[in-house]
Amino acid sequence: MTRNKRLVIFTVIAVVGIATLSIGNGCSQQYATRAISSDLASAATPATSTGSSNIDVIPGARTVSLVYSKQVLDQLSSCTGVALPSDKTTAMYEQKQGAVSMYGYVNTVTSPMMMAVTSIAGEVCNDLINQEAATGRRLFVGFDFMASALPNNAQLADSVSRMALSCWQRNETNLEREVLLDLVNSTVASNEALGGRKSALLICTAMLSSLDSLLN
Amino acid sequence: MIKIILPMLFLYSAAEAQMDMAFRRANAIALYEFLDTSGAIIKDTSSQGTPLDLTIADPSAVLRGSGYIDIQTRNLISSAGPATKIIDACKASGEMSIETWIENNEPAQLSVGEYPANTAQPNRIISLSSGLLKNNFSIGQFYDNAELYYSSINTSGNETMSKPGGSLNNPIMSTKNQIIVPSLETNSSPAVPSQRVIVTLSKDEVARLYLSDRDGNLSKAAQMATGFSKGTAAFFNNWYTDAKLTIGNVSTTITEVKNATGDFTTCTDAASIAKNPACAANSRYWKGKVRLVAIYCKTLSENDILGARSAAQITNKVIAVDPAVKVTDSLKKAQDIFQRLTGVKTPLYDPVLVAMEKKLSSNDPIGAAALATADSRFYNITVRDFASKMSNRAESITVPLNDFTATVVGAVRDEINAQRLLWDNLVYVADPTKASVPSSTVSDILRSNNHYESLDTQRIDLSKVLIPSTQKVYNGTKAVDMPTPAGLLTTRQWMSAHAIAGTNRRLVEFSFREFLCTPLEKVADSTGPDNVVGRDIDRFPGGSHTKFTTTCRACHTIMDGFRPAFGYFTFNSDYVMHSFTSPAVKTQEDEDKGLGMWKSEDAGATYVHGKLNKNATVFPGGRVTVDDNWVNDAVYGANLPYFNWKRMSGKGIQEFGKMLSESKQFPLCMASRVYTSVCKRAPASSEDALLAAASTEFVAKNYNLKFLFQKIVTSKECLGGN
């Protein structure tokens, strides 16, 4: 097995792990606020095929939903600032959008949906890195995408913060930052070919396919 | 000479994009402009490498004019030797584009595999091959038995071209590396008979197709092809190095010809292959005019091909990151409003959010929301999906963009009174000078959804390209003015959803459902009069008149009273038919054959579609619809205050639309739909007060849907909080 293959497998496991961490029990930090946790609890009844969902309304509580199939690519490329998704990304989106919830009700999230979103997110991140390589760094300041070396932890942490402000609409927590840095450091070897690019791809894909990026 | 040149200028000036002939001469690895009017040589006018001229095996079998060659029968027009400069250059670059302007002179009429003259298909228009089964690439034509033909491009090293699937609406797909190219219809003459076909193949293994429509407008096909699984470099490496470039046929070897059938002993050279009928079975000759062939070993960009029209896609802002942005509740509230309206997240450091935050802090929530509704995604995502749901029978948002949806999007953008959407002579189309989409009025708008579907799949920014227009209808020959336009009610999408087959009652049911948010069972009235109910409704279902009076009549008194409003319409053969403009036929079967519109033969019902008066023997004493006068029977009991109608009867679809738009339920329904769209759930009964207040303001603001979005999204019921 080549190192690249091992990396891909590990990346998938790691991303799914983060996704599971985020959505598996609905108890992660971002759902601790009163309004959203109430909404999640209130959205237990399955949606109907016409898109109306039997959600128990809690007065004063903001309804939360996720991106739906027709907007998932727009959402991910908008928050990252990818000006125009590439043909390859569009093709991936067309291939995977069928697995994404039609209306985005929180009670319609499935494992295939999260895998599909991860695939699309990976392509969006690839576009983002190509864009930053061509026009200058916005989210991955200090990263050398061609280098066979990892960015330092300060640079990695900075990119996590910038991604969080962009796509999570909040600052990341210390725990989240540590998890992501550990993920990069344990997945990409310090002298690995294209280590800069791979670490950016890993951070971006993990954060973009997490539930906070998908909230709508 | 002038007589020849002027039409040529006319043919291509309208469609000419960024590329001109100087660009082609500089960039094409091989270029054939067909400038010579005689002789056996077709010159390569590219400036790259040694010219790869082509030789016509039988010059007597072609007509040559300035700018074209007309291939009239079997021939072999091929390079003398291998097209080495193409093969080497494309292998080196890993990219390729093929451009051709062709004119299919043959009506597509014969069966697959037997045309022309017992020639196995596909017939080759351009090929770079060293044998029938050794294709580097080729563009061929499959004749179908309908109005279009297919072409395909084989990009792999050793593939047999087979008849592809696909359709006019799904023209490009990756099936064993083939790309399906729909042609112009040949049953009726297009305005611009020559079709421009451009295929691009990029290093990242994505193939794109560009085609001109019947008016000569070049546009990008909706789909792209991917999945060239061997990898671009690999499949170029599989190319045959002895392949010859051929026009109108495929270069082959004598051995293969002989081995293929064992009956081609006289096929000893190119000339005999061209002339000898016995060689025909392994010939793949194509008949028609070729006006240009250009082979590029680079991926032509959209800007190269479409010029300024390539810039119409939805784009995202690339915003400089401010890592020090202060995350406040009001900033997050601004982001919430932005996201609910546009359907996308924007980074917290987006200056728009800061501006919205200021508006919110100065107690101007509508002003804050207005900043978000200025974003193109508001139209391209939120309003589009808001409208899509109303446009189809399944009430799904997963339908392609269509004239119904585009008209709502345009009306919201232009802040048109939403009442007009139900009765005015209005439809939105894409400006063909701004959007590269198929735009032929008949082929792409009235008889298919190509125009709108292409806008959708190309992700073109609707807020930039939509323009208002008046409604047209196809009369079986051409596009004419819609005699009784009524906004959304006479769009192709609405009619295709509800006027196809049936008895046009569904049009009434869904008008109430979509625009008044009132299902038929709610408006049904078992005490309503039954003198409007049609002859096709049994008054004794199962032998019980009671069942009719208690069950059937309740709905039919409503539907059948209004139904004449739609009496002059049907949808068949993929287009809206109007009885004022369509020729009459006597049966549904004849209408299904495309011969005209089935009109009622009942006395006085000259313009009424036959389906309104069909099955007359079920209850002969029932109502015969003779014109489009309708009566409002939803005026009894609770229905009257519920709808608060302004009209109790009327004539035609326009007055029906006005009646709907004047109902008390119309603004309430729009408010409810907007709430569902931006607040992510249907409103609860506890939110009736909000809807009532919002709808009142909506009416006061001249039925401005954009305002309604701004109003509802900023409500505490939507955003949360007390």
Q: For chain B, what is the domain count?
A: 4
Please indicate, yes or no, whether residues B280 and B350 belong to a single structural domain of this protein: no
Please indicate, yes or no, whether residues B15 and B152 belong to a single structural domain of this protein: yes
pLDDT digits (tens, 9 = 90+) for B446-504: 999 989 998 988 889 999 999 999 999 999 999 999 999 999 999 999 999 999 999 99
Q: Do B335 and A169 touch (CB under 8 A)?
A: yes
CB atoms within 10 A of CB B237: 12
Q: Do B349 and A165 touch (CB under 8 A)?
A: yes
pLDDT band at B659 (very low <50, low <70, confident <90, very high): very high
Tokens of A28: 């992660």
Please indicate, yes or no, whether residues B610 and B679 belong to a single structural domain of this protein: no
Note the pLDDT of residue A153.
Answer: 96
Note the pLDDT of residue B107.
Answer: 55
Please indicate, yes or no, whether residues B6 and B118 belong to a single structural domain of this protein: yes
Nearest to A63 among B208, B323, B680 (CB): B680
pLDDT digits (tens, 9 = 90+) for B422-431: 999 999 999 9
B316 and chain A: CB distance < 8 Å anywhere?
yes
Instruction: Please check whether residue B593 is in contact with residue B634, taking contact to mean a CB–CB distance below 8 angstroms.
Output: no
* 3-state class (DSSP) for residue B712: helix
Please indicate, yes or no, whether residues B281 and B337 belong to a single structural domain of this protein: no
Q: Does residue B381 form part of some domain?
A: no
Strand segments (E) across B557-693: 569-572, 575-578, 584-585, 597-598, 629-631, 649-651
User: Chain A closest CA to B339's CA: distance in Å?
Assistant: 7
Helix, strand, coil fractions of chain B, as percent rounded to 5: 40, 20, 45
Q: Average pLDDT, whole number, for chain B?
A: 85
Q: Is the dihedral of CA B142, B223, A51, A15 positive or negative?
A: positive
Query: B329-342 and B705-713 helices cross at what angle (nearest 10)?
Result: 140
Note the pLDDT of residue B214.
Answer: 75
CA geometry: angle A49, A54, A56, nearest 5 deg: 165
Q: What chain A residue is nearest to B720 in terms of C-alpha separation?
A: A62
Distance (Å, whole) CA B417 – CA B504: 27
Name the β-bridge partners of B140: B124, B152
Q: Does residue B226 form part of some domain?
A: yes
For residue B167, pLDDT beyond 60: no
**Separation in Å, CA B202 to CA A86, B206, B494, B552:** 12, 6, 39, 61
B343 and chain A: CB distance < 8 Å anywhere?
yes
User: Chain B closest CA to A104's CA: distance in Å?
Assistant: 9
Q: Does residue B699 form part of some domain?
A: yes
Q: Does residue B396 form part of some domain?
A: no
Name the β-bridge partners of B437: none
Distance (Å, whole) CA B706 – CA B697: 12
Q: What chain B residue is nearest to A95 in terms of C-alpha separation?
A: B226
Q: Do A169 and B332 touch (CB under 8 A)?
A: yes
How many A/B residue pairs have CB atoms within 8 Å?
143
Q: Which of B284, B300, B316 is the last residue of a domain?
A: B300
Please indicate, yes or no, whether residues B673 and B535 belong to a single structural domain of this protein: no
pLDDT band at B254 (very low <50, low <70, confident <90, very high): very low
Q: Do A70 and B206 touch (CB under 8 A)?
A: no
Residue B42 parent element (H or E): strand B41-42
B394 and chain A: CB distance < 8 Å anywhere?
yes
Q: Do A138 and B389 touch (CB under 8 A)?
A: no
Please indicate, yes or no, whether residues B539 and B644 belong to a single structural domain of this protein: yes
pLDDT band at B150 (very low <50, low <70, confident <90, very high): low
Please indicate, yes or no, whether residues B644 and B530 belong to a single structural domain of this protein: yes
CA geometry: angle B681, B687, B692, nearest 5 deg: 115
**What CATH number should be reported for the domain holding residue B208?**
2.60.120.200
User: Which position has the higher pLDDT, A19 or B211?
Assistant: B211
Note the pLDDT of residue B5.
Answer: 36
Note the pLDDT of residue B273.
Answer: 59
Tokens of A125: 């991140």
* 3-state per-residue secondary structure call for B427-477: EEEECCCCCCCCCCHHHHHHCCCHHHHHHHHCCECHHHHEEEECCEEECCC
Please indicate, yes or no, whether residues B645 and B682 belong to a single structural domain of this protein: no
Of B474, B454, B453, whose CA–CA distance to B388 is shortest?
Answer: B453
Q: Does residue B448 form part of some domain?
A: no
B326 and chain A: CB distance < 8 Å anywhere?
no
Of B295, B299, B229, whose CA–CA distance to B87 is shortest?
Answer: B295
Q: What chain B residue is nearest to A59 in terms of C-alpha separation?
A: B717
Q: Do A51 and B321 touch (CB under 8 A)?
A: no
Among B172, B202, B321, most A C-beta atoms within 10 A, so best to mutate, is B321
Please indicate, yes or no, whether residues B9 and B79 belong to a single structural domain of this protein: yes
Distance (Å, whole) CA A79 – CA B345: 5
Q: What chain B residue is nearest to A171 in terms of C-alpha separation?
A: B327
Q: What is the dihedral of CA B462, B467, B470, B476, to 10 degrees?
A: -60
Alpha helical stretches, state H, B238-383: 254-261, 270-275, 302-306, 329-342, 351-361, 365-373, 376-377
Instruction: Please check whether residue B53 is in contact with residue B83, taking contact to mean a CB–CB distance below 8 angstroms.
Output: no
Largest CA distance in chain B: 92
Q: Do A77 and B682 touch (CB under 8 A)?
A: no
The arithmetic mean of pLDDT across residues A193-205, rounded, is 97
Provide the ipTM. 0.80
Q: Do B347 and A131 touch (CB under 8 A)?
A: no
Q: Which of B591, B624, B649 is the last residue of a domain?
A: B649
Highest mean pLDDT among A102-111, B63-72, B235-244, B250-259: B63-72
User: Chain A closest CA to B331's CA: distance in Å?
Assistant: 9
Q: What chain B residue is nearest to A82 in terms of C-alpha separation?
A: B316
Q: Does residue B212 form part of some domain?
A: yes
Distance (Å, whole) CA B645 – CA B665: 9
Among A39, A50, A69, A71, most B C-beta atoms within 10 A, so best to mutate, is A71
For residue A44, pLDDT beyond 50: no
Note the pLDDT of residue B103.
Answer: 86
pLDDT digits (tens, 9 = 90+) for A65-106: 888 888 899 999 999 999 999 888 988 998 999 999 888 887
Distance (Å, whole) CA B278 – CA B267: 8
Note the pLDDT of residue A62.
Answer: 80
User: Chain A closest CA to B207's CA: distance in Å?
Assistant: 9
User: Chain A closest CA to B609's CA: distance in Å?
Assistant: 32
For residue B50, pLDDT beyond 60: yes
Nearest to A53 among B205, B380, B681 (CB): B681
Q: Which of B318, B343, B374 is the last residue of a domain?
A: B374
B593 and chain A: CB distance < 8 Å anywhere?
no
Instruction: Please check whether residue A91 is in contact with residue B224, taking contact to mean a CB–CB distance below 8 angstroms.
Output: yes
Nearest to B347 among A52, A79, A216 (CB): A79
Distance (Å, whole) CA B62 – CA B39: 10
Tokens of B376: 């193109």
Q: Can you say how many angstroms the Cα of residue B698 is from the centroid of all Cα atoms in its chain?
A: 33
Structure letter (DSSP) for residue A46: P
Among B517, B680, B719, most A C-beta atoms within 10 A, so best to mutate, is B680
Of A107, A104, A114, A206, whose CA–CA distance to A163 is shortest?
Answer: A206
For residue B166, pLDDT beyond 60: no
B354 and chain A: CB distance < 8 Å anywhere?
no
Distance (Å, whole) CA B488 – CA B655: 13
Note the pLDDT of residue B218.
Answer: 85
Instruction: Please check whether residue B205 is in contact with residue B226, taking contact to mean a CB–CB distance below 8 angstroms.
Output: yes
B676 and chain A: CB distance < 8 Å anywhere?
yes
pLDDT digits (tens, 9 = 90+) for B343-381: 999 999 999 999 999 999 999 999 999 999 999 999 999
Q: Do A82 and B316 touch (CB under 8 A)?
A: yes
User: Which position has the higher pLDDT, B669 or B242?
Assistant: B669
Q: Does residue B542 form part of some domain?
A: yes
pLDDT digits (tens, 9 = 90+) for B203-217: 777 778 888 877 888
Q: Do A75 and B344 touch (CB under 8 A)?
A: yes
Q: Do B316 and A78 touch (CB under 8 A)?
A: yes
Of B290, B259, B255, B258, whose CA–CA distance to B124 is shortest?
Answer: B290
What residues of A are in contact with residue B343 (Cβ under 8 Å)? 71, 74-75, 216
* 3-state class (DSSP) for residue B299: coil
Highest mean pLDDT among B110-114, B252-256, B567-571: B567-571
B226 and chain A: CB distance < 8 Å anywhere?
yes
> Tokens 């060659």 — which residue?
B69
User: Chain A closest CA to B347's CA: distance in Å?
Assistant: 4
What residues of B are in contact with residue A50 (Cβ under 8 Å)? 394-396
Q: Can you say how many angstroms the Cα of residue A78 is from the centroid of all Cα atoms in its chain?
A: 13
CB proximity list for B442: less than 8 A, separation 6 or greater: B214, B474, B478, B479
Q: Do B396 and A63 touch (CB under 8 A)?
A: no
Among B318, B349, B686, most A C-beta atoms within 10 A, so best to mutate, is B318
Q: What chain B residue is nearest to A74 in terms of C-alpha separation?
A: B344
Please indicate, yes or no, whether residues B60 and B191 belong to a single structural domain of this protein: yes
User: Chain B closest CA to A115's CA: distance in Å?
Assistant: 20
Among A138, A155, A163, A165, most B C-beta atoms within 10 A, so best to mutate, is A165
pLDDT band at B304 (very low <50, low <70, confident <90, very high): very high
Please indicate, yes or no, whether residues B106 and B154 belong to a single structural domain of this protein: yes
Note the pLDDT of residue B223.
Answer: 62
Note the pLDDT of residue B255.
Answer: 43
Note the pLDDT of residue B634.
Answer: 97
Q: What chain A residue is nearest to B401 in terms of C-alpha separation?
A: A70
Nearest to B204 among A78, A88, A131 (CB): A88
Distance (Å, whole) CA B632 – CA A177: 65
The whole model's pTM is what?
0.82
Q: What chain B residue is nearest to A214 in terms of C-alpha separation?
A: B345
Q: Which of residues 437-466 of B touch A (CB under 8 A)?
A: 459
Nearest to B721 among A60, A102, A162 (CB): A60
Q: Which amino acid is at B128?
A: L
Q: Is A186 exposed, middle or buried (0-12, 13-18, 19+ CB in 10 A)?
A: exposed
Domain region containing B252: 2-300
User: Chain A closest CA to B232's CA: distance in Å?
Assistant: 14
B330 and chain A: CB distance < 8 Å anywhere?
no
Q: Does residue B401 form part of some domain?
A: no
Which DSSP string corresponds to B279-298? GGGG-----EEEEEEEEESS
Q: Do A79 and B204 touch (CB under 8 A)?
A: no
